[in-house]
Amino acid sequence: MTVRDVLRFPHPMLKQVARALGEDEAKLTATVAADLVDTMRSHPGCVGIAAPQIEHLVRMVVVDVSEHPKATAKHGELVLVNPQVVRSHGAEVAREGCLSIPHLTANVRRATEIALEATDPLGEPVAIETEGFEARCLLHEIDHLDGILFLDRIASKQDLFRRRSYR
């Protein structure tokens, strides 16, 4: 539908908790889903985005790691409404970046395997088990729904880095 501007830290909406989308909000769900996909695709190398980043304070994320070399698990383009992590396992520290914090990256500890439940934009149930980079991306985007940025997850300032280049 529309490529939206991505909010940048310290915009206050990035620190707010998003509300769940109801079954009776099909039109809003479709609009947000299309805007998320279009916005993500407009940023080369982007693998995910959450609704609060484009000024929709609702629980929806889009992730697609299909073309990313670090991804071992690839479920294609995931458009998830009201996602919930139901199980997580393991831990690994790896570098993360974010469209909302374009000039920084950081080492962040995340689970290495997750299972989540959600619905798709049409209200159909979705259950995913994934690992590695795809799990990290999903956890990063779901954090946005709770007003959590990767900056909130760093252990120390030594884990924060200036991005060398940004597309």
Torsion of CA 136, 101, 151, 163, to 10 degrees: 80
Tell me which of 23, 117, 131, 141 is the catalytic residue: 141
Cα–Cα distance measured from residue 148 to residue 97, given in angstroms and rounded to the nearest whole number: 13
> SS3 of 120, please?
coil
Q: Which of 47, 57, 164 is nearest to 99 (CA)?
A: 47
For this structure, is 141 an active site residue? Answer: yes
* Catalytic residue IDs: 141
